[in-house]
Structures are given as structure tokens and as C-alpha cells.
Amino acid sequence: MAATALFHERGHDATSMSDIADRLGVTKAALYRHVRGRAEVLREVTRPVRARLRSLSAAGASGDGRSPAAELADLLDALALAAAADPARHAVFWGVGGTPSPDAEDAVCRESMIARLAQLLARAMRRGETRCDLDPSVTARLLVGAVVGTAAGGRGTEYPFGSRRKPDGESGAGRSPSAVDLLLDGLLRSPAGPRRT
């Protein structure tokens, strides 16, 4: 947790092994007996984020008959909840307020999530569920940045501003719009009438 906090506070590049050892209250030599270097520490810090994102991608690829727009909204909600549940790790992984983790596995995982969202956007465009004048890949990156950035920075709230749902899975009826609502209500074509819930 000390390395996570330091990477989040200072950035990966500005955090040395000496900084981590100092925060842990051990010598640098003692730290090196357990890890080979900063890259290994970073991989361990971001490992839970990679695992969660892989799980979200696998769950979303089940083909349960929902519309691409519904799958997109649910995946963004799940991403927002994950980021709000572990904001420091997600900030380090995605680069909220700084540079994303340079770890190769992290880069592949980030690109996989972007690709999944872009696929959903492209399918939704073909079905007329979203605007057709947007590049799916660019839009996916924008959505991830906005949702993760908002959710990872939303500490101290009853439930994350980034998600349409509370952490227990219940809808947030009667609440302020989430980042997902704000982004998708401007993206999705909806019939006249009340907002999505």
C-alpha cells in the first residue's frame, strides 16, 4: 500500500525505491530482498486492476441479448465502480492526473478495454443507438478518461459520481446524474420522454 500511495501522490517516475523503503520504514537493501525493482513493485500495485478489467471484459462478452448501448452503459458503470472502489490503483494504472503505468501488461490491458468499448460503440452506431459521426476508438478513450477520472477522484461521496449505480448494485434513484449519465445522454439517441435510469 505504501508504493500505491507514493505512485499516486508523486507519479511512478518520480518515486524511487528509497522513497518506498522510507515509507515502509525499512532499508532499501531490505526492500530489494523482496522485489527486484520499481517495475516489479508497479506490476504488483496494478495487478488487481488488470484482474478486475479482465473480469469485466469477460463478463461483458457473454452475449446475453442486451443492446450494444445497454452493454456499453453497464460496462462503463462497472468500470466507474471499480475505479471508485480502489481510486489510487486505478489512478496509477490509467494515469489519472499524470502518466499511465508504463508496464507492458498494463498497456495491453488498457488497450483491450478501449477496444471492447470501441466495438460496443461501433455496434451501437450500426444499430442507430448512438451518433454515427464519432470515431469509436476516440470516443471510447474519451469515455474511459471521463468515467475513470471522475470515479477515481470521487472519494468521500455516498456512491461514486462516475457510476449510475450504488456500490451495492442498487440504482441511485432520485440522485444527481452520474458521469456515465452525463456522457451517454449526450451520445445515445433516446426517444422523447424521461431520461434513462
| CATH code, 161 | 1.10.357.10
Of the listed ranges 25-39, 44-58, 89-103, 145-159, the one predicted with least confidence: 145-159
Q: What is the domain count for the chain?
A: 1
| pLDDT for 194 | 45
| Residue 87 CA from chain centroid, whole number | 9
Is residue 27 included in any domain, yes or no?
A: no
Is residue 97 included in any domain, yes or no?
A: yes
SS3 76: helix
Q: Is the pLDDT of residue 115 over 90?
A: yes
| pLDDT for 51 | 97
Is residue 107 included in any domain, yes or no?
A: yes
Is residue 19 included in any domain, yes or no?
A: no
pTM of the model: 0.80
Is residue 39 included in any domain, yes or no?
A: no
Whether 88 and 4 have beta carbons less than 8 Å apart is answered as: yes
Of the listed ranges 22-31, 75-84, 87-96, 159-168, the one predicted with least confidence: 159-168
SS3 of the chain: helix, strand, coil, percent, to 5: 60, 0, 40
Is residue 73 included in any domain, yes or no?
A: yes
Domain range for 106 is 46-185
Is residue 60 included in any domain, yes or no?
A: yes
Is residue 23 included in any domain, yes or no?
A: no
pLDDT one-digit tens code per residue, 70-83: 999 999 999 999 99
Quick one: three-class SS letters along 127-186? CCCECCCCCHHHHHHHHHHHHHHHHHCCCCCCCCCCCCECCCCCECCCCCCCHHHHHHHC
d(CA 141, CA 183): 12
* Percentage of residues of the chain with pLDDT beyond 70: 78
Q: Is the pLDDT of residue 61 over 80?
A: no
Tell me the average pLDDT of the chain.
84
Q: Is the pLDDT of residue 168 over 60?
A: no
